[in-house]
């Protein structure tokens, strides 16, 4: 499972550009982290909503992959994000989890936190959405 | 209005990284385009959902800015995206529009299309969400 | 198609309770209307968000049914609603439409308007969501 | 706080029609239950998505009210629901909670479960959305 996720992840140009890494893989839960850098900022230097979404969505998608058959891939059918605070820390930590597995649809959630220099964290976004397996 | 949007846009590292440009600004509607490049790809070389979201969300956000007071800035409170087809063309065209302006909340929609080498387009995503003015 | 939708609709206790009627069926678009009554009010006497959602979601679902095979039924997988104005008229008019048909997922939108005594209308909600065929 | 919520709830015709009751109020969390009855059914006799939404949205809204000033009321700005299983039990239990309080926006989540005759429960829907205070 780990290898399958890391291979897929390694082929995503977007994740490489963002400097993102998969830091935890468990059945039903995947964590992705990335540094907050100028290349993915909004106009105040915080992480752009597009980066926050990309990490949360990917963490949710890979969490869905952990509950799918070996040969499946996963696509986001839809995703909803509520942005609740500015991403003004040093890095982002996105935790995706499966709420409801299914053969045709997998419902997921994700939480994205920003981490400060002292190691403390603050929730910046919550996501809820649907993944579909493709074979 | 144009200048305010272009200034804000120019400060977004994420939009620069994606090679995005504001190609149309009208009251209540903004269009943003960007080439589909390996740096923002998913594992099959198509545009990553994070890129599709970033463009659609930004187009929606700037469309909201066109109906706000001169000194306001805009934040995405929440956004929902349905991804309906793979982004397998050469560039993305994101059209954001205001559905319902308001003093405290601006409800927006966006459509993201992929454009092929021959100029034809296909809808790849629709978005619906809420922008809030901050001063 | 009309008969199939009207039969299904007639079996929905919720639609009967709300006094709802299917007033238009076309391929890819269905309109449902209902009077705003005390039995479905919120605390100020306007239509409850639950009623607004029920009509918008049903109009979207039946619009999806118009593009599905004869023997299919339809379920809402997920739906997002933005409530943009109070439902303070005399009745609600919900127009659902198919954005993207598909074998496994049908992406839909709906608009709900409130109609006043003089026949004028105001948009009160927009919805966007996913229907799945079940056989 | 309890009294304010129960008064508001008592004025909602929709909640009375559904036979809904507020069964728990704590700071940041409200639980609402209602029997699954033919008057709120879909075409197979299960609870209609409109009823599931109405309970989840109301539980979320009242949870937001518990963290607002005394004189405020609350409106749903937007709400997203994923329906994950049929509501085929005897009653529904909707638990709403505050994810992020705020002066202008309160972000909430809700989970709706169906309860069977033997007391066991199954999650049928999860919701995520934004409440706004109105004074």
Q: What is the pLDDT of residue D18?
A: 97
pLDDT in tens, A92-104: 999 999 999 999 9
Q: What is the pLDDT of residue C71?
A: 85
| SS3 at position C6 | helix
Q: What is the pLDDT of residue B102?
A: 94
Asked whether residue A51 carries a pLDDT value surpassing 90, the answer given is yes
Return the number of CB contacts < 8 Å for A and C. 18
ipTM of this model? 0.96
pLDDT in tens, A6-20: 999 999 999 999 999
Q: Subunits touching C (CB < 8 Å, at least 3 pairs)? A: A, B, D
Which residues of chain A are within 8 Å of residue B79 when distances are taken between CB atoms?
49, 53, 80-81
| SS3 at position A69 | coil
| SS3 at position D59 | helix
> Distance between the two ends of chain A, CA-based, in angstroms?
16
Q: What is the pLDDT of residue A71?
A: 85
Which residues of chain B are within 8 Å of residue A42 when distances are taken between CB atoms?
11-14
Q: Say if D7 is an interface residue toward chain A (CB within 8 Å).
A: no
Can you name the residues that pair with C100 across neighbouring β-strands? Answer: C107
Contact D104 B130 (CB under 8 A): no
Q: Say if C85 is an interface residue toward chain A (CB within 8 Å).
A: no
Interface test with C, best of B85, B107, B109, B127 (most C CBs within 10 A): B107
Strands (E), A27-90: 29-35, 73-83
For A127, nearest residue in chain D (alpha carbons): D128
> Distance between the two ends of chain C, CA-based, in angstroms?
16
Q: Say if A99 is an interface residue toward chain C (CB within 8 Å).
A: no
pTM score, whole prediction: 0.97
Q: Return d(Cα B47, Cα B34) in angstroms, integer.
A: 10
Q: What is the pLDDT of residue D50?
A: 97
| SS3 at position B127 | strand
Asked whether residue C123 carries a pLDDT value surpassing 90, the answer given is yes
Contact A123 D100 (CB under 8 A): yes
Residue found under tokens 């405020």: D72
Asked whether residue B1 carries a pLDDT value surpassing 80, the answer given is no
Integer Rg of chain B from CA: 14
CB distance A54 to A125 below 8 Å = no
Q: What is the pLDDT of residue C63?
A: 98
pLDDT in tens, C37-76: 999 999 888 999 999 999 999 999 999 999 998 888 999 9
pLDDT in tens, A21-33: 999 999 999 999 9
Q: Return d(Cα D84, Cα A107) in angstroms, integer.
A: 7
The contacts of residue B8 (CB under 8 Å, 6+ apart) are A43, B62, B65, B73
Contact A49 B50 (CB under 8 A): no
Q: What is the pLDDT of residue A33?
A: 98
pLDDT in tens, B81-113: 999 999 999 999 999 999 999 999 999 999 999
Measured in degrees and rounded to the nearest 5, phi and psi for residue B116 equal -90, 170
Band (pLDDT 50/70/90 cuts) for residue B132 is very high
The Cβ of residue B38 has, within 10 Å, a number of other Cβ atoms equal to 10
Q: What is the pLDDT of residue A93?
A: 98
Band (pLDDT 50/70/90 cuts) for residue C1 is confident
The domain B2-134 having CATH identifier 3.90.550.10: the answer here is no
Contact D80 A107 (CB under 8 A): no
Q: Return d(Cα A123, Cα A101) in angstroms, integer.
A: 25
In chain B, % of residues over pLDDT 90: 89
Q: Say if B132 is an interface residue toward chain C (CB within 8 Å).
A: no
Q: What is the DSSP string of C39-64?
A: GGB-TTSSBPHHHHHHHHHHHHHHHH
Work out the average pLDDT over A62-78.
Answer: 93
Please count the CA atoms within 13 angstroms of the CA of B124 that sit on its side-chain side.
30
D77–chain B nearest CA distance, Å: 9
Can you name the residues that pair with D32 across neighbouring β-strands? Answer: D22, D94
For B41, nearest residue in chain A (alpha carbons): A13
pLDDT in tens, D88-120: 999 999 999 999 999 999 999 999 999 999 999
Q: Say if D44 is an interface residue toward chain B (CB within 8 Å).
A: no
Residue spans of chain D under pLDDT 70: none
The contacts of residue D78 (CB under 8 Å, 6+ apart) are B78, B107, B129, B130, C80, C81, C82, C83, D129, D130
């Amino acid at each position: 499972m780990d290898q399958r996720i890391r291979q897929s992840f390694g082929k995503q140009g977007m994740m490489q550009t963002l400097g993102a890494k998969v830091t935890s893989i468990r059945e039903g839960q995947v964590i992705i982290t990335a540094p907050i850098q100028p290349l993915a900022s909004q106009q105040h230097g915080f992480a752009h909503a597009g980066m926050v979404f990309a990490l949360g969505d990917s963490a949710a998608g890979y969490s869905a992959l952990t509950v799918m058959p070996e040969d499946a891939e996963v696509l986001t059918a839809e995703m909803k994000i509520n942005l609740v605070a500015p991403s003004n820390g040093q890095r982002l930590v996105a935790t995706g989890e499966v709420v409801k597995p299914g053969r045709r649809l997998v419902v997921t959630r994700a939480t994205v936190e920003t981490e400060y220099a002292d190691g403390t964290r603050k929730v910046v976004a919550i996501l809820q959405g649907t993944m579909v397996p493709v074979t």
